[in-house]
Amino acid sequence: MNTNIETFKYDNRIVRAFAIATVVWGIVGMLVGLLAAVELFFPGANLNLQFITFGRIRPLHTNAVIFAFVGNGMFMGIYYSLQRLCKARMFSDWLSWFNFWGWQLIIVSAALTLPLGFTTSKEYAELEWPIKIAITIVWVAFAVNLFGTIVKRREKHMYVAIWFYIATVVTIAVLHITNSMSMPWSWLKSYSMYAGVQDALVQWWYGHNAVAFFLTTPYLGLMYYFLPKAANRPVFSYRLSIIHFWALVFLYIWAGPHHLLYSALPDWAQSLGMVFSLMLIAPSWGGMLNGLLTLRGAWDKVRQDPMLKFMVVAVTAYGMATLEGPLLSIKTVNSLSHYTDWTIAHVHVGAMGWNGFLTFSMLYYLFPRLYNTKLWSVKLANYHFWIALLGMMFYAIPIYIAGITEGLMWKQFTKDGFLQYPNFLETILQVVPMFKLRAIGGTLYIVGTLMMAYNLYKTAKSGVFEPDTEAQAAPLEKSPAAVQGKPAWHRLLEGRPLFFTVLATVAILVGGLVEIIPMFLIQQNVPTIVSVHPYTPLEVLGRDIYIREGCLGCHSQMIRPFRSETERYGEYSKAGEFVYDHPFLWGSERKGPDLAREGGRYPDAWHYNHMDDPRSTSPGSIMPRYLWLLTQKMETDSLPARLNALRKVGVPYPAGYENGPAQKDLQAQAGKVVANLKQGSVKGEADKEIIALIAYLQRLGTDIKSAPVTTAAK
């Protein structure tokens, strides 16, 4: 035996900091979600303030819940469990606190920029380029801290949870960097380096894996730590947990294209995404069963311990979401579910059930331990459990019903072959009562969270915080290689293979991507449909307003090749139509009609009135009023910067176009819109934002409409 026992201390301060941040941001993120939910049936709930209008706070809600609530929860759990699993304090306290404050700063900057309309519009990657760089730096600090701790561990065996943490830290770095490639045109705005179909593919490769490697793998690691701990019995099958891990990491990364089924993405890519998604059922369910079977013979504890109750629901929700996900990626099912609220219900089972309940469970586990006391009230925690579960049901069930209703109504034809519900509004008004029930569900869930916050506060008050926990262990013995007498250099390399492999992979990828991407993509952006032209200066401004207001939160721009869609919206979307779209704006949700062929559908004056008050043109509409577009002046000073940036990413504006001709063209087109408005007896001013937005909307999808696609270049 090694008699060389070392005494060291686990850092509890950092765990407490992340725990408090988890609770605070959790409440904030959920409240923003509630506001968004209310605005969907009561459009006036934004008080006509642009900063809290649905399109702007939807990304705020998703970012807050994913990166602030679950993100801090993940750090909390990892910083607690990693130290104990490695029998070592974190590699560097300084890096721990850099990670903490850096992450909080990123969250605050997100909370400021998103309501102000600074967004890339790429879902779950909305934060603009300076914040993205900050995320990269903080993430690397976290990675160094994590690997550093693993290297100096005193326990040779790396428990399966650690592997899940490693997968998270490496893969998120690669995804984030690849998807963030963009060309800045101001301190807070940029255009995606990719265009159209390519942008969509990169975005959903990222988007799906963000779910996989930010919301799933770290939490699986936490499950494999906290569930056995709470039940005080070993995981059902350690062997299964290893298979669970390796199968997941090798399958997950290929599943992304299932977000783009029936879109203009090549068919083979869609099928690839679907097949890998279906294969994922096996490891996911293996993991779920492994979690639940760990409680075999301990179900009496589940009855008494609220922490275990939360854990059981979390693992069950993981199982439900990972069965439903693959089912939704079957093309036939997806043709019904995509763009509907079904997806919303699916992600909320994952977020509220899996991530939320597991986070609550960890918090109830950690606070008594950090404060060396007992949970203040087990009864209150039990109430929290039931109210949160009820809230989740009230959220999910109505939204499932809403989603399926929408999907069926959109596809319903009459006997004579006409759309049964040709007016989109009819299908949304049908599900508004469900939206109301959903808000009740969300409220219950938040009430539960507030009860938990109070309970945790009282627990902290009743105990004494223990900043460091002392522990003892022997250092790792020399590697077997040394014993067998291998040369020293070999030993050195063998000691840190993982560390170096991972760092090298990331380094190579970053370097490679930075070099390859611009070269690859810019040359490829050759227009393939002769009638498709770059946006005019006024349309560029209008498109940026469309992005700023988050219109794609409710309006897709991608008509799928179904008769029900082509009847309703017009010719289905072609890949070649989007070659100048930096970023792509296909969207993933329809709370309003698709806009891919909106151009020319209504007169300019209709759009003006519709933005002024949607209910004046569409009675009952749930769209908010966009009054500020009517009064705010459009920002034309930055036009050269915008066009320049677009040219750099491959849009063929002629040389020198931005310095003069562009402004002239802009004024001329704005004048035309004003004249059109006058015809519709609306008095519009040429320098207002609404003019640019109308110009953009009237352009949508018209490239193919106006000219027959077979026309050759002149």
Partner 1 sequence: MVFCSRLYLAMSVVIILILASLAVGLGFVVAFVWSVRDGQYVDTVTPAMRMLAEDPPGKISETKTTAK
**Can residue 482 be called a binding residue for partner 1 (CB under 8 A)?**
no
- The nearer residue to partner 1, 2 or 528, going by C-beta atoms, is 528
Please state, in angstroms and rounded to a whole number, the distance separating the CA atoms of residues 81 and 84: 5
Site for partner 1 in 84-113 (CB under 8 A): 84-85, 87
- By CB under 8 A, residue 483 contacts partner 1: no
Q: For the chain, how are helix, strand and coil distributed in percent, rounded to 5?
A: 65, 5, 30
Binding piece for partner 1, criterion CB under 8 A, among 390-398, 441-449, 468-476, 609-617 = 468-476
The span of 135-143, 462-470, 554-562, 671-679 binding partner 1 (CB under 8 A) equals 462-470
Whether the Cβ atoms of residue 84 and residue 228 lie closer than 8 Å to each other: no
Interaction of residue 549 with partner 1, rule CB under 8 A: no
Q: How many other C-beta atoms can be found within 10 angstroms of the C-beta atom of residue 308?
A: 23
Q: Is 484 in the site for partner 1 (CB under 8 A)?
A: no
- According to DSSP, the β-strands at 182-186 and 189-192 are antiparallel
State the Cα–Cα distance between residues 505 and 521, nearest whole angstrom: 23
**x-or-dash pattern for partner 1, window 552-591, by CB under 8 A?**
----------------------xxx--x------------
- Which residue in the set 429, 517, 627, 630 belongs to the binding site for partner 1 (CB under 8 A)? 517
Asked whether position 228 contacts partner 1 by CB under 8 A, the answer is yes
Nearer to partner 1, 96 or 198 (CB): 198
Residue 613 burial (C-beta neighbours within 10 Å; 0-12, 13-18, 19+): middle
* Residue that is written with structure tokens 């300019």 in the block: 604
Residue 230 sits in the site that holds partner 1 (CB under 8 A): yes
The answer to whether residue 464 forms part of the interface with partner 1 (CB under 8 A) is no
Give the residue with the Cβ less far from partner 1, 251 or 399: 251
Inter-CA distances, 669 with 110, 231, 541, Å: 35, 69, 12
Classified as helix, coil or strand, 190 is strand
Binding to partner 1 (CB under 8 A): which residues in 609-648?
A: none
Closest to partner 1 by CB, 453 or 503 = 503
Write the binding mask 340 to 369 for partner 1: x where contact by CB under 8 A, - elsewhere.
Answer: ------------------------xx--xx
Cα gap 206→214, rounded to integer Å: 11
Report the nearest approach of partner 1 to the CB of residue 365 (Å): 7
Query: What tokens appear for 392 in the block?
Result: 């989740």
Stretch that binds partner 1, among 138-146, 513-521, 584-592, 641-649 (CB under 8 A): 513-521
Binding piece for partner 1, criterion CB under 8 A, among 58-66, 80-88, 92-100, 683-691: 80-88
Give the H/E segment covering residue 264: none
Cβ(320)–Cβ(243) below 8 Å? no
- Residue 359, class by beta-carbon neighbours within 10 Å (0-12 exposed, 13-18 middle, 19+ buried)? buried
Interface with partner 1 includes 386 (CB under 8 A)? no
CA distance 232 to 223: 13
Site for partner 1 in 264-293 (CB under 8 A): 264-266, 269
| Residue labelled with tokens 């959920």 | 30
CA–CA separation, 74 and 18 (whole Å): 9
Report how far apart the first and last C-alpha atoms of the chain are (Å, whole number). 85
469 - beta bridge partners? 10
User: What are the b/e assignments for 109-120, b being 16+ CB within 10 Å?
Assistant: bbbebbbebbbb
Residues of span 519-538 touching partner 1 by CB under 8 A: 520-521, 524, 528-530
Q: How far is the CB of 369 from partner 1 (least distance, A)?
A: 6
User: Residue 79 is which amino acid?
Assistant: Y
**Which of 13, 152, 229, 705 touches partner 1 (CB under 8 A)?**
229
**Which CB, 99 or 469, lies closer to partner 1?**
469
Phi, psi at 40, each rounded to 5°: -75, -15
| 692 lines the binding site for partner 1 (CB under 8 A) | no
Q: Does 659 bind partner 1 (CB under 8 A)?
A: no
| 702 near partner 1 (CB under 8 A) | no
Name residue 207's amino acid.
Answer: G
What is the C-alpha to C-alpha distance for residues 307 and 390, in angstroms, rounded to an integer?
A: 17
Number of residues that bind partner 1 (CB under 8 A): 83
Binding residue (CB under 8 A) for partner 1 from 423, 501, 679, 706? 501
Give the helix ranges, DSSP H, for 353-496.
357-370, 378-411, 424-462, 480-483, 488-495
Q: Does 490 bind partner 1 (CB under 8 A)?
A: no
Which residue in 242, 393, 514, 675 binds partner 1 (CB under 8 A)?
242
SS3 89: coil
Among 39-47, 260-268, 403-411, 627-635, the segment contacting partner 1 (CB under 8 A): 260-268
Nearest residue (CB) to partner 1, 68 versus 307: 307
Give 688's strand partners: 633
The pair of three-digit structure tokens given for residue 248, joined into one six-digit string: 């997941």
**Binder of partner 1 out of 17, 64, 125, 170 (CB under 8 A):** 170
The CB-of-584 to partner 1 minimum distance in angstroms stands at: 11
Q: How far apart are CA 245 and CA 283, in angstroms?
A: 8
Decide whether 412 or 472 has the Cβ nearer to partner 1: 472
Question: Please, are residues 207 and 175 in contact by the beta-carbon 8 Å criterion?
Answer: no
Write the interaction track for partner 1 spanning residues 180-209; mark x where CB under 8 A is met and - where it is not: --------------x-xxx--xx--x----
* Under rule CB under 8 A, residue 299 binds partner 1: no
Task: State the nearest-atom distance from the C-beta of 498 to partner 1, in Å.
Answer: 6
Among 502, 645, 690, 694, binds partner 1 (CB under 8 A): 502
| Binding residues among 138-167 for partner 1 as defined by CB under 8 A | 155, 157-160, 163, 166-167
